[in-house]
Amino acid sequence: MQQEEIEDQNEAKETQNSKVYELGYLLVSTIPEEDVPVIYGNLKELISSLGGNAISDEIPKMIPLAYAMVKVVNNVRNKFNTAHFGWIKFMMDSDKVLELKKKLDLDPNIIRFLILKTVAENTIAAKRFMRTDTRNRRPRILKNEDNENVAPINKEEIDKEIDALVVS
């Protein structure tokens, strides 16, 4: 009975300590496209080995970088203008995150990574917010109304007028 209570307490402690984190990372562009899922799988495995529960993620995809980044591997400076960008959202004990960081620091496939505290809900806003600013647009309905008021063109009258002009 007592043991059960202690276990319950431990479980409660774990859930209290575990927080939602997000790991964003850039993989070196020299990795062939078919090997990317393997590295992505290894990262997920690493997180679960440290007691993390993945909530959501995105498979790394090739992106152009906004500026050139340098990574030193075996005393050689490598410059990158493109990289595979991916992210994983997971729940993990706050004590284990430092361990995760230390392991990722040693990974030769990662150019840079970022671990952030976040929320479990989907944080990427839907595309519908990406509308253009409608305030500066002029209403065009008025112009159409003006056109409707124009009298229909009478061909005979125009012909007569043209003749008159030609004669004079």
Partner 1 sequence: MKQDYFSANNIKYIDYKDVEILKRFLNPNGKIISHKRTGVTSKNQRALASAIKHARFLGLLPFVVK
Sites of contact with partner 1 (CB under 8 A): 24, 26, 63, 65-67, 69, 83, 85, 87, 112, 114, 116, 118-119, 121, 123-125, 129-130
Instruction: Pick the closer one to partner 1 by CB: 6 or 119.
Output: 119
Give CA–CA dist 63/26, Å, rounded: 9
CB of 60 to partner 1, least distance (A): 12
Residue 96 CB-density burial (10 A; 0-12 exposed, 13-18 middle, 19+ buried): middle
Residue pair 61/86 in contact by the 8 Å Cβ criterion: yes
Rounded least distance, CB 168 to partner 1, Å: 59
Closer of 129 and 141 to partner 1 (Cβ): 129
Q: Is 5 exposed, middle or buried (0-12, 13-18, 19+ CB in 10 A)?
A: exposed
Owner of token pair 């230390």: 102
Q: How far is the CB of 142 from partner 1 (least distance, A)?
A: 26
Residue 27 or 47: the one with the smaller Cβ distance to partner 1 is 27
Write the single-letter amino acid at 159.
D
The CB-of-78 to partner 1 minimum distance in angstroms stands at: 14
